Amino acid sequence: MDANVVVMGKESVGKSALTVRLLTRRFIGEYGDIESIYSHSVSVDGREITLNIWDSPYSEKKVQWADGYVLVYSICDRASFNAVCRLVQAIKSAKDYLNVDKAPIVIVGNKRDLHHRRTVLSEEGRLLALKTDCHFYEVSAAENYHSVLMVFDGLVDRMKDAKLTVKRPLRLKGIVKSMSAVFARRRTDSF
């Protein structure tokens, strides 16, 4: 079974860092301008689910493609939190949303390790999630694999009850990249 997950949020909030952390357990610091779809298999209740994770800016097309959303802001960047508030509204009012079994949304406040530079309180994230029926996590992609795993586990948990259909087959095979391509690029860049 396939599930499409889109990771969205303002630039530099750590979307790639979260995705790469989930897939490789590593934090590599700089990620460049890579917009890709990554495939990642998880086993839930004995069922194998392939997550197609798209780390990308907002677009209507991606909203329709997704079975679940990870909306990321940085706890040090108030504008990125405001952007997530708008994203939740945009997803919920997207034409297709009501027809796709209310695909779950997880709100993530990243860069928890930079708490001394915090401008968005945990309570604000929690309240936004409560008001909009989303899940909420504060994490540090830089410091911690486990909290990142919980974000995606929580999403899969909510998605597995929704009907994951083959309504929007992935026609993007050409841009699916393996993580080894990311590391290969870094090696090339360093020369």
Ligand X SMILES: Nc1nc2c(ncn2[C@@H]2O[C@H](COP(=O)(O)OP(=O)(O)OP(=O)(O)O)[C@@H](O)[C@H]2O)c(=O)[nH]1
**DSSP symbols for 39-106:** EEEEEETTEEEEEEEEE----HHHHHH-SEEEEEEETT-HHHHHHHHHHHHHHHHSTTGGGTT---EE
Name the residue with tokens 């009501």: 98
Minimum Å gap between C-beta 143 and ligand X is 7
Torsion of Cα atoms, 72 then 151 then 7 then 133, to 10°: -70
State yes or no: residue 65 binds ligand X (CB under 6 A).
no
Q: Are 164 and 25 in contact (CB under 8 A)?
A: no
Name the residue with tokens 């969205």: 8
Beta strand 47-55 with 37-44 is: antiparallel
Site string for ligand X, 22-61 (x = CB under 6 A): -------xxx------------------------------
Which of 4, 36, 64, 140 touches ligand X (CB under 6 A)?
A: 140
Which of 114, 150, 164, 179 touches ligand X (CB under 6 A)?
A: 114
Minimum Å gap between C-beta 132 and ligand X is 21
Minimum Å gap between C-beta 14 and ligand X is 3
4 or 16: CB nearest ligand X: 16
Position 137: which residue type?
Y
Which of 5, 6, 75, 141 touches ligand X (CB under 6 A)?
A: 141
Minimum Å gap between C-beta 112 and ligand X is 7
Interacting residues toward ligand X by CB under 6 A: 9, 11-17, 29-31, 110-111, 113-114, 140-142
